[in-house]
Amino acid sequence: MKRYSALNLLKGGLRGHASWSRAWRAPAPKSAYDVIIVGGGGHGLATAYYLAKAHGVGSVAVLEKGWIGGGNAGRNTTIVRSNYRLPESQRLLELSLKLWEGLSDELNYNVMFSQRGALFLGHSESDMTKLAERGDSLRCNGVDAELLTREQVGRLVPLLDLSANARFPVCGGLIQRRGGVARHDAVVWGYARAADSLGVDVIQNCEVTGLRIESGRVLGVTTTLGDIAGGRVGLCATGGSSRIAASAGLRLPIECHNLQAFVSEPVKPMIDTVIMSQSIHCYISQSDKGEIVLGGDPDLYPSYAQRGMPARIEDVAAQAIALVPALSRLRMLRAWAGTTDMSFDGSPIIGTTPVENLFLNAGWCYGGFKATPGSGWLYAHTLATGEPHPVNAPFSLDRFERGATIDEAGAGPMPQHR
Q: What is the pLDDT of residues 342-371, one digit of tens each?
A: 999 999 999 999 999 999 999 999 889 999
Predicted local distance difference test score (pLDDT) of residue 307: 82
- For the cut 70, the answer to whether the pLDDT of residue 296 exceeds it is yes
Residue 221, CA distances (Å) to 37, 62, 236 in order = 10, 12, 13
Whole-angstrom Cα distance, residue 209 to residue 227?
10
Exposed / middle / buried, residue 243 (Cβ in 10 Å: 0-12, 13-18, 19+): middle
Per the model's pLDDT, the better-predicted residue between 78 and 17 turns out to be 78
Phi-psi category of 138—alpha, beta or left, where left has phi over 0 and alpha has psi -120 to 50? alpha
Q: Which of 14-23, 58-67, 237-246, 282-291 has the lowest mean pLDDT?
A: 14-23
Predicted local distance difference test score (pLDDT) of residue 371: 96
User: Is 284 in a helix, a strand, or coil?
Assistant: strand
Predicted local distance difference test score (pLDDT) of residue 9: 85
Whole-angstrom Cα distance, residue 355 to residue 248?
8
Q: What are phi and psi of 28, to 5 degrees?
A: -80, 145
Identify the H or E element spanning 340: strand 332-343
Residues in a beta bridge with 173: 121, 148
Q: Which of 50-54, 89-93, 263-267, 406-410 has the lowest mean pLDDT?
A: 406-410
Closest alpha carbon to 369 in 108, 161, 78, 120: 78
Beta-carbon contacts of residue 253 (< 8 Å; ≥ 6 apart):
343, 344, 349, 363, 400
pLDDT band at 82 (very low <50, low <70, confident <90, very high): very high
**Residue 3 identity:** R
Predicted local distance difference test score (pLDDT) of residue 110: 96
Closest alpha carbon to 279 in 297, 263, 258: 297
Cβ–Cβ < 8 Å for 339, 304: yes
For CA atoms 247, 248, 250, 254, the dihedral sign is negative
DSSP designation for 73: G
Predicted local distance difference test score (pLDDT) of residue 252: 94
Predicted local distance difference test score (pLDDT) of residue 112: 96
> What b-and-e string marks burial along 75-85, b requiring 16 or more CB atoms within 10 Å of the CB?
bbbbbbbbbbb
**Sequential DSSP letters for 149-185:** EHHHHHHH-TTS--STT-SS---EEEEETT-EE--HH
Report the percent of the chain where pLDDT is more than 90.
Answer: 79
How is the chain split among helix, strand and coil, in percent rounded to 5?
Answer: 30, 25, 45
Predicted local distance difference test score (pLDDT) of residue 253: 94
Whole-angstrom Cα distance, residue 364 to residue 105?
26
Question: What angle do the packed helices 372-385 and 42-55 form, to 10 degrees?
Answer: 50
Predicted local distance difference test score (pLDDT) of residue 418: 32
- For the cut 80, the answer to whether the pLDDT of residue 413 exceeds it is no
Give ∠ CA 270-276-277 in degrees, rounded to 5. 130
- For the cut 70, the answer to whether the pLDDT of residue 416 exceeds it is no
Give the predicted TM-score (pTM) of the model. 0.94
Beta-carbon contacts of residue 84 (< 8 Å; ≥ 6 apart):
90, 93, 367, 408, 411
Residue 244, CA distances (Å) to 37, 250, 294, 360 in order = 12, 9, 31, 11
Q: How many C-beta atoms lie closer than 10 Å to residue 380's C-beta? A: 26
Question: What angle do the packed helices 42-55 and 184-197 form, to 10 degrees?
Answer: 30
Rg (CA), the chain: 21
pLDDT band at 5 (very low <50, low <70, confident <90, very high): confident
Region 275-292 average pLDDT: 92
